[in-house]
Structure 1
């Protein structure tokens, strides 16, 4: 149960996926720099040793003089141990392994389908969803049984499916899905103000926006800095940089960073539809027909973003594992740096330590009236003491809403297929994704191969039952 403000010094956080070599370290850093919170973080992971190592790393921070938030970390062997007495639950897991992700991203390339991320939509996002859904069914059941009053913050992708599954299994769950993609667009608008108006040192939180859409396919129809309406400026900015793209500092250049872009996809979508697309180009491209931005690696380079190869992720994981060993044995010092995520800010607001308005993923209760009730949408919400209230975002223009609605409905079919373990229904969603521009026979072959490659994570599925095309 959420504590009162006076009890914010004895919090219990359950971290599911506590062996993480990215998100968990980021949370440790943010918690260590927040003086108003302290308590215990219980780390649960299917790899107990990884959670144990993270507990050692987290506990090494406790006595450092510059650490304001005092937290104890404990690795536990069962999810219920982690959830027992939890005020908050953090969900940050890798659904499967990088081998399954390799199939998600690269198996479709044999059929001419390229994906820049492969974790939300497209063939990779769909199959990732099918193996993630049973995991989240189990997580939701444990939360319902062990910590039904806890607030749940999900960072795992595919965000919409994860959040929707939690609510399907446990309708009274208090869960939100968090994503930082919109933050990048706020930073771009701040850079625009410096470029066009010479206004420097703007924090992205000073850019006030109205967010509409679904995760990784969000849009902004209102944006202000103080009394400056940013949409007319954005049109000027797009005209200035449409052809060459907007490239920031050298270390952030799209050719040197797997996750960076020159914003050309974002600019093109503004030219076509008149609103600011508010996610990274790598994600936005996957929601559109494959011929637009992802037709080939050469086309991707023309649009100045990257296909993130899974081999790179595997190599990076090796580096992170080596870093983890150094952090654990003390040969490398854990650096305290703010992540820019708002998870700790959400915790503070839910504890009554100041309100927060930010974009989150929640079931639609009217904040987007043109999308189905209950579908998970991404809009702004007000966080206050023990409360998250979605703010009415309004309606997208019909052409954009039609695109968003198609993905919403396809995600709903995928979720139903995952819950029912229904291969035919899954295939019906698969062939309706804009990236799957294949003959039926090819689509069936690809879908079946991808299911076989992820079959270890599809309990109860009849994988080898043939489809009739």
Structure 2
């Protein structure tokens, strides 16, 4: 890398999952609009053609008005080529295919277990993790071999176990997990200020929060805006909209599988007294099945959706068609900020301004009461070549018990995956709050799910 004033040139970024139609395009756009950075992005993907198409799209951005950051995109055939000489590694992959994801989500429904997402917890989350962990073992070993000093930013779910695998296999790795769920809650708080206080110009980034928990099951126990304590305001907000839900655009949750009316979030606040800081679709999966996911009618009453895999598949087909138009120059990506914080993280780690944001890193004591070494989510200060977790304190004991159960289960899944231990993995599934069926039925479900994902379980006796 070459430093020149406030600019850094010749940065080398390895993008694992470089054929992505969503995250990759967002990164390309953000890099193009950042004039302080320039360099090379090597795109690695099991689907080389998809990575090649993205290289054409990325290189075309240099010709657009407003593209201040100049980057060269190169598709590469091997992980070694991508990682060699990398300063940063970005990981955004789909572990398996939509076929396996469909099994994760749809098969449990035959046993009365419903997933609203299926990528972090529940039977779907457990099995997704089992096939993802071997991929991350390979990546951790490759990073250790080819770019041990690089910073690694992970976007893939299950976020906690992906990041935890990296730190387990390569303890010295400089890895962080990044998720936008927290900023979604900050945006809700900004909407709250507009609705209750008439403050229409509150920028969500100016709302200070204390974050503690694990990915997709994070909590906020302190929030403020310009010196005003927002916790009492949120209580009023939750009470006012508990029954009806809150939407800036009425009916939006019915028109989008990814939206909600925040009723789950409000319910958890009324139960525990602190803000559950993730989307309703994720939060619901961490709680007992009967609370929010008993059946589709219950889900509808809480005003969120079960996200069908078919909709994801349809969107992917549409994006694949669009990618070909973009690569052929028949259409151009519009340069607009994605709202993701990856570029600000990179700038801070390069020494171009300190930055505080939520990250997923091993617990060094930033959350008291939760197991040390487990990956937790809190705020952290990012400075030149360093990430310093912010001391977040301790969760209320009842919430701590909920979070700790999931942490210990995640650690069990990790151990089972590394040992290829069918029995241990099954016990982890049994211990998940969504699994309220009999042991025999659970065993049958688990075996069927493993059969459907066995291509990604090397060395397992399935």
Please indicate the TM-score interval, normalised by the length of the shorter structure: over 0.9
Partner of 2:336: 337
Partner of 2:402: 403
Aligned length: 461
1:222 aligns with 2:240: no
Alpha-carbon distance in 1 for matches of 2:268, 2:66: 45
- Tell whether the 8 Å contact from 2:87 to 2:150 is kept in structure 1 after alignment: yes
Alpha-carbon distance in 2 for matches of 1:223, 1:5: 38
Unaligned stretches of 5+ in structure 2?
none
Q: After the TM superposition, list the runs of 4 or more consecutive aligned residues in structure 1 that deviate by more than 3 angstroms.
A: 2-7
Structure 1 length normalisation: TM-score?
0.97
Q: Please show how residues 340-351 of structure 1 align to structure 2 within 5 Å.
A: 340-351=339-350
Once the two structures are superposed, what CA deviation does each residue of 1:346-402 show, in whole Å capped at 9, x if it has no partner? 000001100000000000010012001100000000000010011110000000000
Partner of 1:151: 151
1:231 aligns with 2:231: yes
- Tell whether the 8 Å contact from 2:3 to 2:9 is kept in structure 1 after alignment: no
Once the two structures are superposed, what CA deviation does each residue of 1:202-257 show, in whole Å capped at 9, x if it has no partner? 2211010000000000000000001110000000001110000001225x810111
Query: Are the structure 2 counterparts of residues 45 and 82 from structure 1 closer, same or farther at C-alpha, using a change threshold of 3 Å?
Result: same
Partner of 2:243: 243
- Tell whether the 8 Å contact from 1:5 to 1:352 is kept in structure 2 after alignment: no
Partner of 1:170: 170
Q: Please show how residues 297-336 of structure 1 align to structure 2 within 5 Å.
A: 297-336=296-335
- Tell whether the 8 Å contact from 1:5 to 1:351 is kept in structure 2 after alignment: no
Question: Aligned with 1:255: secondary structure?
Answer: helix
Partner of 1:117: 117
Q: Report the CA distance between 1:4 and its aligned residue.
A: 4.9
Alpha-carbon distance in 1 for matches of 2:3, 2:239: 51
Deviates further, 282-291 or 61-70: 61-70
Question: Aligned with 2:243: secondary structure?
Answer: coil
Alpha-carbon distance in 2 for matches of 1:385, 1:368: 24
Q: Please show how residues 209-288 of structure 1 align to structure 2 within 5 Å.
A: 209-249=209-249, 253-288=252-287
Q: Report the CA distance between 1:337 and its aligned residue.
A: 1.4
Question: Aligned with 1:187: secondary structure?
Answer: helix
Alpha-carbon distance in 2 for matches of 1:159, 1:350: 21
Alpha-carbon distance in 1 for matches of 2:417, 2:248: 41
Partner of 1:22: 22
- Tell whether the 8 Å contact from 1:181 to 1:280 is kept in structure 2 after alignment: yes
Q: Report the CA distance between 1:63 and its aligned residue.
A: 2.1
Structure 2 length normalisation: TM-score?
0.99
Query: CA-atom RMSD, angstroms?
Result: 1.0
Question: Aligned with 2:116: secondary structure?
Answer: coil
Question: Aligned with 1:298: secondary structure?
Answer: helix
Question: Aligned with 1:38: secondary structure?
Answer: strand
Partner of 1:356: 355
- Tell whether the 8 Å contact from 1:19 to 1:51 is kept in structure 2 after alignment: yes
Once the two structures are superposed, what CA deviation does each residue of 1:131-161 show, in whole Å capped at 9, x if it has no partner? 0000000000000000000000000000000
1:380 aligns with 2:379: yes
Once the two structures are superposed, what CA deviation does each residue of 1:7-48 show, in whole Å capped at 9, x if it has no partner? 611100000000000000000010011110011000000000
Alpha-carbon distance in 2 for matches of 1:64, 1:217: 40
Unaligned stretches of 5+ in structure 1?
464-469
Question: Aligned with 1:365: secondary structure?
Answer: coil
- Tell whether the 8 Å contact from 1:363 to 1:374 is kept in structure 2 after alignment: yes
Query: Are the structure 2 counterparts of residues 5 and 381 from structure 1 closer, same or farther at C-alpha, using a change threshold of 3 Å?
Result: farther
